[in-house]
Amino acid sequence: MKTIIFIILANVCLYGQDVFIPNITVLENPNPCGGFEDRRVTLIVDIGKVLPSHQLYGFEFGIEYDSTKMVFDNLINQTTFLEFFGESVSVQGSKHFVTGGGALLSGGPISGDRPLFAISFRYFEDVFDTTSIKLTYLYMLEEFTGTIDLLNIDYPKIVPEIESNTLRDIDITVKDSIVFDSTKQVEASIMLSSNNLSRVNNLLMNIEIDNNLYLLKDAYSDNSSILLENNKILLEDVADNTVEIKIVLEQLTDSVNSKLEFSIEDVNQSSCINIDTKSETMLIAYEELSTFISNEELEIEISGGLIRNTKRFDLKIYDQIGRVIYSGNDNLIAINNNIVFLEIDLHDKKIIKSLINF
């Protein structure tokens, strides 16, 4: 939520001279989890109403800020006294410090009830510490009849605010299934994606697998450093918002149906990421190529949401998470989009068919 802090400034009279205490207002607090514009913080510097008798012809300022949390962005002229100074306005930003100002090139003096100037900074990503600025000097041109009091400035705090709509889940996308053949080894792909994923230094993903059936041999990625240990994948120095991880599985036994379950276990170095505890599942099946029988020979046909089992084979149908959702030998079987594998009992052997082959 954007917040605006208003502080009322009153000019006071001291020894016959008007004393101006600068009022600094935070127009909006930054959102470190948002995009480039969301991380902007704008500050308005105001000395109150200036009369023609104050003889304002120009000024210079210096602002100190914490460069570990934010960086200078822009000096804003519109609707401030700087707008009157035209091409004479200048600004220079360096580490920790910004200087700027301007003066009338002709005419004057200027007067009115508007801010002296406004200045914007941008917070760094994933920086959530509160900070402030300091107006170290404000020099008015010598004609100015007032006095600037910097000692009694009430500096507002810049408080980062995380907006809930900028927090991002990490989505896990897997293929519905993988099928082993007689080579006993297969490569599978997992995609991780989030708008804030590139802000993560380390991410730990857990893979649930039956170690008696399969061996997770290797894992690698083209856009992240990966360590694999005890069925856990540690991604380091994530560079993009989408990361593809390739895993290599080896089958240790004969034909057995199983599944892999992927979940994000921990995310380090980013408060902008929601850790979504839901998992994704990939079904594993085995298809012995040497016993391949065509669909035409089996007289099995899938169309219109039905499996036509002409020879009345004993069938088992598996869904995306490995559950048996049908077992029997009916001639017509109604199906939906969640089915993945079909197990066909030929009495002397069983074969597994991935339904994407039909």
Q: Which CATH number fits domain 167-286: 2.20.140.10, 2.60.40.680, 3.90.1150.10, 3.30.420.40?
A: 2.60.40.680
Give the residue from 69, 163, 164 showing the smallest Cα distance to 125. Answer: 69
- pTM, two decimal places: 0.58
pLDDT, position 112: 94
Mean pLDDT calculated for residue range 8-16: 41
pLDDT, position 115: 96
Q: What is the pLDDT of residues 256-304, one digit of tens each?
A: 667 778 888 777 656 777 666 567 777 776 554 434 445 556 777 777 6
DSSP 8-state code for residue 298? H
Would you say how long the chain is, in residues? 358
In order of 32, 77, 221, the CA distances from 268 in angstroms are: 16, 41, 19
pLDDT over 70, % of the chain: 78
Residue type at 330 in one-letter notation? D
Q: Is the pLDDT of residue 136 over 90?
A: yes
Range(s) for CATH 2.60.40.680 in the chain? 12-165, 167-286
Alpha-helical runs (H) found in 186-316: 295-298
pLDDT, position 301: 76
Other C-beta atoms closer than 10 Å to the C-beta of 125 total 16
Q: What is the pLDDT of residues 319-349, one digit of tens each?
A: 766 677 888 888 888 877 666 667 777 666 6
∠ Cα 325 175 317 (to 5°):
15
Distance of CA 128 to the CA centre of its chain: 15
Mean pLDDT over the full length of the chain: 80
Residue with tokens 């020894």: 15
> What kind of fold does domain 12-165 have according to CATH?
Immunoglobulin-like (2.60.40)
